[in-house]
Chains A and B, each alone.
Chain A
Amino acid sequence: MKKKALSLLLACAMTFSLAACGNSGGDTQAPAESTEADSDAEAGGDAETPAAGDGSVFKIGGIGPTTGGASAYGIAVQRGMEIAVEEINAAGGIGGVQIELNFQDDEHDPEKSVNAYNTLKDWGMQVLVGSVTSNPCIAVAEQSYNDNMFQLTPSGTAVKCVQYDNAFRMCFSDPNQGLESAKYIGENGLATKVAVIYDSSDPYSVGIYEAFRAEAANQNIEIVSDAAFTADNKTDFSTAVQGAKNAGAELLYMPFYYTEASLVLAECSKQSYAPLFFGVDGMDGILSVENFDASLAEDLMYMAPFVANSDDEMVKSFVGKYQEKYGEIPNQFAADAYDCVYVVKAAMEEAGVTADMDASAICDAMKTAMTAITFDGITGKGISWEASGEPNKAPLIVQIKGGEGVAL
């Protein structure tokens, strides 16, 4: 009897999962067929051209990690995009055409990211916003370049993310952040002796540090100590802080994310070492770390593309909506993603594309339009783009004063 019940249960589970397979298979099949029909007509079936939309909606695809270790970033991007799409659709869409958003998970893995990209292509994506993380983004950029698909990454900071002419980014690149922070420190005479702690297993952190180091020489900044940690070993910073202290550094440069930074700050306070602290955009969110004494972060400076408590009307409205919907304060990833969707809208309007054009034609039109538009968003005002894909926006330095980030 027991056996029978068990086998029945198993049978149910299998049937359910098979049914699920069937469903999703069906979803992807329909657009795929139209894809093939198109390409057959044009190029004998060998070259895959992304499907042309049926003309009723613009199909925007998003890729990012919504599961796994980097899911915090992917989910933030997904939510930021959802809010932007809802707003645009409520306001009548792009030139009267609604937007449809499809966000696919890539688990922060280049291989899965390419799979997600292909899934979106089958769905009929016309414009891609993604990938969220750098390495997957580089892998996807290779594919999107082959397909001539317009790509705008909210947060792929590595240089090679936008190496092709179809790819643009919303955020600062890694070298750009390192360069700007070295310039800021040098020009404002904050310090001449600097210690650096960085995450050697994270391309983001290493990329910023390398550029910082290169620029430091020009700014008369001496790097007196550098200490690396890795993703596997990021809880004990006593040696790193001790090294900086012994070297007599006046400023501690921290190009990594806020979770580790909170530990570094706590360690510095334990060793009663009080240099100036300078971080990068990953520092955004430090005040929300649980069990962290916010007073330790007092006077901490960091580069931020986005300040959630800003007085700006657009920021206020976005933060309000985000909080209402998801019950938390949006971070820079969500803000970048939100702006991305509006940039796509602006570029589409500039280029005058219509929803029945195929992805390649849209890409050609938007590539030129991107360099022509000037964009005011929540991560900066008057942003324009180079043909290389890099944004021109003024870096914003934020300092924590009285438990709040204040723009300097």
Chain B
Amino acid sequence: MKVKALNKNTKNNLITYGMVILAYVVMEILMKAGMVSSLLQGLLVPLCTYVILAVSLNLVVGISGELSLGHAGFMCVGAFASAFFSNYTKEALTVSGLRFFLAILIGAAAAALFGFLIGIPVLRLRGDYLAIVTLAFGEIIKNVINVIFLGHDSKGFHISFKDAFSMNMEPDGEVLINGPQGITGTPHDSSFLIGIILILITLFIVINMVNSRTGRAIMAIRDNRIAAESVGIHITKYKLLAFTVSASLAGVAGVLYAHNLSTLAAQPKNFGYNMSIMILVFVVLGGIGNIRGSIIAAVVLTLLPELLRGLNDYRMLMYAIVLIATMIFTSSPGGQAFRERYSLKALLGQKKQKKEAE
């Protein structure tokens, strides 16, 4: 019984990995054959970004059972830390592969640090309170980044929280982080291949963590905090671990995001709570705790508004309607009953019965 359960689990995970690799191979073949539109080619890296975000948030929301609404904040930290590094070393480090590798490490480390620091006070709270406080922290990160001015000249680094003049830079100086204007001119280092590799690494970390002693401890805390505590599980340690790992993976997604566009500014649109909720929607729609579902939901919901471009002004309206309909279809009792009655299995079964009757 135990062996069987384990096998089923492994098989399930292999399907998830296989799905990602298959998607990569299919896309590569189609691209080589020249059958992919430039819209889709341009969307490949953002898709990877959102998949990583969804999977990493699922670790907190699904596995650890904490409702976090500040995920975009960690993405923001990772994006800015890495874009700053890449811009600063653009001339010194010309090997883009190595530079990007270091940028990923820096982005992940910076986001992990923030996740850890924010996690200490935040994880003392539960439920709605936790959601609200993480929401606030996400906004704080965005707003703090908007007032940072950082430049570099022959005398070293200058920083100001007021405006670019207060740094009193030498004429040869270059402003690297320009407050609300953010960072411009980040090298275009992200690629589909790197994105896929990062997804696989993310999956590897998350799936292995879930199936390990640590993961069982985290899930035990989620299911019954008091019981978990009574058997000697260190609550704070495990919750903080899940939160930090999740933040760090979001930071990696931020690195991918920042190196795909030449301009990076912390605006409500890309790093505000709208984005955090967007990521939460991926997780909820894909099924809380279901890693593969998160991947599929992230891909579908990112593609949908682009595929609906033909509808012009009604595009975002349709997007919302599709979202509501999908939620009802997958999660409401009525929708579930409908699915059961008209599922592929049931339809095939009916046909068989009919044939038998004939």
Contacts and interface: CB of A to CB of B under 8 A. Distances in A.
B307 A21 contact: yes
A90 B42 CA distance: 36
Interface in A59-79: 66-68
B338 A107 contact: no
Nearest to B40: A118
B310 to A, nearest CB: 3
A200 B266 CA distance: 13
A376 B33 CA distance: 47
Given A14-B329, A210-B164, A24 B307 contact: yes
A170 to B, nearest CB: 20
Interface string B159-172: 00001110000000
A36 interface: yes
A84 to B, nearest CB: 19
A132 B261 CA distance: 17
A206 B146 CA distance: 12
B265 A203 contact: yes
A206 B181 contact: yes
Interface stretch (B197-205, B279-287, B317-325): B317-325
Interface string A367-395: 00000000000000000000000000000
Interface stretch (A26-34, A238-246, A396-404): A26-34
Interface string B280-317: 00000000000000000000000010111111110110
Contacts of A213: 165
A36 B338 CA distance: 43
Contacts of A228: 163
Q: Which of A135, A139, A200, A228 has the most CB of B within 10 A?
A: A135
Contacts of B262: 138-139, 141-142
Interface residues of A, number: 63
A203 B42 CA distance: 26
State the majority secondary structure of interface residues on A. helix
Contacts of B180: 200-203, 206, 230
Interface in A284-339: none
Interface in A125-154: 135, 138-139, 141-143
Sort chain B's interface into a size bin: 35 or more
Given A108-B269, A122-B37, A200-B179, A115 B325 contact: no
Given A25-B307, A32-B37, A121-B38, A3 B337 contact: yes
A124 to B, nearest CB: 11
A33 B38 CA distance: 10
A6 B32 contact: no
Given A45-B32, A119-B39, A206-B179, A138 B307 contact: no
A180 interface: no
B315 A115 contact: no
Contact of A203 (B36, B43, B181, B306): B181
A117 B182 CA distance: 22
A35 B325 CA distance: 36
A7 B308 contact: no
A274 interface: no
A68 B146 CA distance: 21
Contacts of B334: 3, 6-7
B146 A135 contact: no
Nearest to B324: A13
A141 B270 CA distance: 19
A262 to B, nearest CB: 22
Given A67-B316, A115-B42, A138-B184, A110 B263 contact: yes
Interface string A246-276: 0000000000000000000000000000000
Interface string A154-174: 000010100000000000000
Interface string A191-235: 000000000111100110110010000000000000010111000
B41 A118 contact: yes
B34 A36 contact: yes
B329 A210 contact: no
Given A7-B334, A114-B261, A210-B164, A24 B185 contact: no
Contacts of A160: 184-185, 263
B39 A118 contact: yes
Given A17-B322, A20-B318, 8 more contacts: A13-B322, A24-B308, A105-B309, A111-B260, A114-B261, A135-B263, A209-B163, A210-B165
13 contacts: A3-B334, A10-B328, A14-B329, A20-B308, A28-B309, A35-B38, A110-B263, A116-B309, A117-B42, A119-B306, A122-B39, A160-B185, A160-B263
Interface of B: 32-39, 41-43, 46, 143, 146-147, 163-165, 178-182, 184-185, 188, 257, 260-263, 265, 267-270, 304, 306-313, 315-316, 318, 321-322, 325, 328-329, 334-335, 337-338
